[in-house]
Structure 1
């Protein structure tokens, strides 16, 4: 069984040319898909797989959701949103036409009928190619850069375009903004208009070229994702190519920058920083940063706005030791800001070896005494399954590594230990249980309820305790799955203080199943007769019919509370810009709900309620006089304001340049304020931007642990 803890959705915007013929058939038009140009149609294999996927989700998944009107509504909305979330391509008339599928699209899938979904997809493709051709032609048009007009880049909260003229007006402004944005990045006084036009022509020509290469497998992948995500955000169908890529990603090594990427509003967006990789070590990149350009070594930047995700990834990834430069729009900032340049040396990231690491920090108490706190950073719950199965006595695992670290910290007589689980997306369930055992004596750690409603209690069977002193665990919104099991158990036993912000809320278990297990022999014969037993695009070694990662169970804490949806709430809370409404399981409309089952029989180690109240009081008092805390709150406020903003962008060169210069100055002053707080040299105009690695959350967590030590005494 594969415990799939990936906390992002693999999305891609795919475009291609289409010509559609629609014939009325009762109250619902039946789409007749013709072999014209690159118009796409589903294969017999796609229809068979779609039917089987619906059957799996109706009968075998944890949720067991029937294809119905209500699910059809969600599938329909998912498909439209995935294709054109920013409302930059489709017309209101297109959306009105699609409405006839709203209440029936899931039932169509159940019958193996994908015509309505492919019709929506092809209509979108047709619109996208039309506007891209128009945009390409607009590059050489005359644009008045003195005229005061505005452009809205992300139109998700606006209405659909009422006419083709309105759609083209949006794209005229987009081209004008792109040219203006490129101009403002040029060296002062240097006329590079010809170069900018060439850059933009390459961007749109590349988009058109990629569009025409889109095939029916690409369309089918996106369509099935719209269906599975309507059931559960962690249930996913992967076509053969995507399945192979997913399995390699889960089990082998990667070479690149060490980040998981997703396409959002036609920009490659960072959704996870992989521990141990170049991006993790460099600390320049943040979640939700957008990559708009890529350069190999010291070469020219290549614009990647609007690229297919796989094409962009191919440019960003590369061999170990090679250098890549990325042009970044920072998270929470408008697209009109001056891009930052990040230079990284690619490396090999071995997923299984994102090892636990320790440092010892010294913090001064109110009594004047210096306390030493051992900090263990754990990026994921890992185990070398192959070596474990072969009974290798030296197999590598989270628990073994942390036990050795704790032995060292015991010998060095530290006063407390903190386990940092921030951004730890999970991993091995077995390791979460055994790691808990290093801090408690024998007892239950987690409960798992399967599709039949049967509950299994997973126990720690080892009575040895590796650390008995004061203990703290730091979590944040990206601590998920196994991290939540561990933190929840520590909290329920009263074994330590949980610090940070509420965790992700992923309390479900997935199993990866080869779709060939569900394809009947009759259907296999039909596919063979039709010459569709193996698609030409299927890589060698990939599952012939793809794979489905389906939710089969749910996690519960030993107190009976589910970790699903709510996650784990800390005892000492720190503010965060990653809110429950925007990030985590609670932001997913189709996520399984929180619920509760019977508590297990377990013996609490201690009751920290009183101590936690005292710690919170001391923490709050300290924050009232903390300049760093005030700085953090201001940053969060600014991030939230920019993230939620849909403010129109001025297309006047003078005004936009002024706004960009003001933002540049504001960002420099902001960074200098932080540098000043830490008595560091200020950042001056013309100097490279300094890397700032101050960790306020860890620093204040150490202060809380210092209070904890004093109160325990």
Structure 2
């Protein structure tokens, strides 16, 4: 089985979205143009695939969920949310009419009936075209920017519109805000309203063009995602083109900025920074930042709000060595906030070369003694499978690289080692097991339970140990899968101290299955007779697409699942990424946590007493730490912004003042941090300095200093 070699990273669905175009689904789409919008129809192949996907998830997946009223409710909600999460298109009357499908849509899929889902999609598409056409008429309308008026962009907590008049009023305000937003980005004293109107017309016409180009394959991909996400957040059907690019991206190179992207509320949102890429090196972009504009080199910015993700990605990606500028709304910032500009030079990012790296940090103890700590940063658990299969003695892998780094740290006589797994989304299961073996003697590392409830214990068979001294592991909310297996094993063995925040909680295993295995010869003949078998799919792509289905679950050697709960650190640091909004526990369809019998293993040591002492010393330091207080303030501001309905002022004077106040506030905050580090302050008119302070790492090193002293006492 595939899971013996690799753990698909928890962000695989984002990989698919961020780097591929939504094109042919393996059969000729049935598309008709009607007045007011498209009338898309499912193909026979769509109907056959839908039926088989339901059958796979009912009979072969780990969860084995039957199509039922309760699942239909979730599928229905997923579909509505994926189409109009911000409630900017549908009317209440349309939602009421769709209600007839709420309890039956999954059972319809089981029978190959996609008519209800396509009806919902067509209604959305028609409504989107109507409101965008209306928005175009409002660009040249008269707008009073001195009027006291507000606008809510993201309406997920609001009621659906009850009339066309309400819908049009919302879009009138949106056009007014878009114009005002563009106006406020113009240099003081310059009147470029005519230019702003042309920019906005181009934006809306682009959106209209994209909506008209939508085909039945696009609809089918979205509909099937609504179904699979109702079963399990890591089970996904990919149409042939998606499947082809998904598989290529798991092993090949990418050219671009080095970020995985997802569409949220009509904005391209950064969901992962790829180690080694331009965004990673620049250190300006962060998780959940939103890209609202793209410029090639020193050219003019092109607005990408509302674009299809594949179209936006095509603008962001590009050949190695070329420059792209991004207009960014930082995570947590309101839509009305002043965007920042980030300039990046595109590079070729070789996924397999996200290698482990080391450094040595010096920490001064209370006794005046300097302690040297080796820090190994590991962005993923990688292995060159091709070279490994060919028995190449020099194949590249995580364990081999880290072993060499540990050898060098041993020669330099460091006092402790820290492995930084923050933002490490997983990778090879084999490497997670073998890497654990560098720090323990022989023994079990992880348990895997399959769909038949059979449990297999994966062991480290190598008795050699590469590092025997004090050891720490740093994790955060985006440490997932293989990272959690490793951290959990180190914790269970008492081999080291786990620091940071609770990990993601991705404790499931997926296998990629070619859908052609499930399409009967009878159905293949039907498709051939219908003229759909020889569809124009990419060369090498699976003809009927691919399903990545959950087939097993991970358990720690103490019997606790890593699923849902993740790994809790021994020394906890605060984080803005809460369990309610981020990680496996935020996914409604995620498999639950459970426990099985513990394996037989011998602890390296009992660190319970040392852990309590380390926690006490850490808490005492935090009481007097200005940086810690700064971190708490930042988290509080971020949480407040994320939980507040974004009501935007459409009065030019007031909105301008809000922006200036926010700009001053941000400069004051940054200067406070710079002052803490005795750095030159950021003055008005100067470019914003890049801040690379890492409080979590710095305090982790302090904890390790205490650990060294306690171990030696």
What TM-score bracket applies, with the shorter chain setting the length?
Answer: over 0.9
Residue 11 of structure 2, aligned match among 7, 12, 24: 7
- Pair 167,35 (structure 1): closer, same or farther in 2 beyond 3 Å: closer
Shift of 1:6: 3.2
- What is the CA deviation profile of residues 193-248 of structure 1, one whole-angstrom value per residue up to 9, with x for unaligned ones? 01100110010000000111111000000000000000000000001111112111
1:489 corresponds in structure 2 to 489
- Pair 35,208 (structure 1): closer, same or farther in 2 beyond 3 Å: closer
1:12–1:308 CA contact under 8 A, matched in 2: no
- What is the CA deviation profile of residues 255-311 of structure 1, one whole-angstrom value per residue up to 9, with x for unaligned ones? 000100000000000001111111111110000000000001111110000000000
**What 5-or-longer segments of structure 2 have no aligned partner?**
23-29
Distance 1:417 1:212 in 2: 57
Q: 1:86-165 to 2 correspondence within 5 Å? A: 86-165=86-165
- What is the CA deviation profile of residues 668-711 of structure 1, one whole-angstrom value per residue up to 9, with x for unaligned ones? 11111111110111111111111000000000000000000011
2:336 corresponds in structure 1 to 336
2:223 corresponds in structure 1 to 223
1:532 corresponds in structure 2 to 532
1:21 corresponds in structure 2 to none
2:346 corresponds in structure 1 to 346
SS in 2 for 1:242: helix
1:9–1:233 CA contact under 8 A, matched in 2: no
1:262–1:309 CA contact under 8 A, matched in 2: yes
Pair 1:663 & 2:662 matched: yes
Q: Which runs of 4+ in 1 moved over 6 A?
A: 11-14, 32-35
2:79–2:223 CA contact under 8 A, matched in 1: yes
1:712 corresponds in structure 2 to 711
Distance 2:330 2:363 in 1: 33
Shift of 1:535: 2.9
- What is the CA deviation profile of residues 403-441 of structure 1, one whole-angstrom value per residue up to 9, with x for unaligned ones? 000000000000000000000000000000000000000
Distance 1:33 1:485 in 2: 47
Shift of 1:66: 0.3
2:593 corresponds in structure 1 to 594
Number of residue equivalences: 696
Distance 2:543 2:527 in 1: 12
SS in 1 for 2:344: strand
SS in 2 for 1:396: coil
Distance 1:5 1:656 in 2: 42
2:131–2:168 CA contact under 8 A, matched in 1: yes
Distance 1:503 1:33 in 2: 45
- Larger RCO (CA under 8 A, 6+ residues apart): 2
- What is the CA deviation profile of residues 644-677 of structure 1, one whole-angstrom value per residue up to 9, with x for unaligned ones? 1113111000010000110011111111111111
Distance 1:652 1:67 in 2: 51
Shift of 1:36: 3.5
1:509–1:553 CA contact under 8 A, matched in 2: yes
Distance 1:208 1:655 in 2: 32
Distance 2:419 2:692 in 1: 19
1:556–1:562 CA contact under 8 A, matched in 2: yes
Q: 1:8-407 to 2 correspondence within 5 Å? A: 9-10=13-14, 36=34, 38-407=38-407
Distance 1:476 1:36 in 2: 50
Distance 2:13 2:657 in 1: 37
Pair 1:519 & 2:530 matched: no
Shift of 1:554: 0.3
- What is the CA deviation profile of residues 594-630 of structure 1, one whole-angstrom value per residue up to 9, with x for unaligned ones? 0000000000001111100000000000000000000
2:563–2:591 CA contact under 8 A, matched in 1: yes
SS in 1 for 2:602: coil
Distance 1:356 1:33 in 2: 50
Distance 2:176 2:557 in 1: 59
1:147–1:652 CA contact under 8 A, matched in 2: yes
Distance 2:292 2:639 in 1: 22
1:648 corresponds in structure 2 to 647
Distance 1:436 1:126 in 2: 55
Distance 2:227 2:641 in 1: 32
Distance 2:543 2:122 in 1: 26
SS in 1 for 2:547: strand
Q: 1:622-633 to 2 correspondence within 5 Å? A: 622-633=621-632
Shift of 1:185: 0.5
Distance 1:680 1:4 in 2: 42
Distance 2:439 2:128 in 1: 57
Distance 1:12 1:128 in 2: 21
Pair 1:690 & 2:689 matched: yes
1:9–1:262 CA contact under 8 A, matched in 2: no
Distance 1:367 1:60 in 2: 61
Shift of 1:8: 6.0
1:8–1:271 CA contact under 8 A, matched in 2: no
- What is the CA deviation profile of residues 57-102 of structure 1, one whole-angstrom value per residue up to 9, with x for unaligned ones? 0000000000000000000000000000000000000000000000
Distance 1:467 1:71 in 2: 49
Distance 1:225 1:349 in 2: 28
**What 5-or-longer segments of structure 1 have no aligned partner?**
17-31
Distance 2:665 2:246 in 1: 41
Distance 2:95 2:260 in 1: 32
1:328–1:342 CA contact under 8 A, matched in 2: yes
SS in 2 for 1:251: coil
Shift of 1:35: 6.4
Q: What RMSD over aligned residues (CA atoms) do the two structures have, in Å?
A: 1.4
Shift of 1:109: 0.1
Distance 2:85 2:246 in 1: 25
2:138–2:175 CA contact under 8 A, matched in 1: yes
2:177–2:650 CA contact under 8 A, matched in 1: yes
Q: 1:446-525 to 2 correspondence within 5 Å? A: 446-525=446-525
Shift of 1:251: 1.3
2:381–2:426 CA contact under 8 A, matched in 1: yes
1:575 corresponds in structure 2 to 574
Distance 1:405 1:160 in 2: 57
1:514–1:547 CA contact under 8 A, matched in 2: yes
SS in 2 for 1:40: strand
Shift of 1:9: 4.2
Distance 1:198 1:166 in 2: 26
1:621 corresponds in structure 2 to 620
2:25 corresponds in structure 1 to none
SS in 1 for 2:435: helix
SS in 2 for 1:270: strand
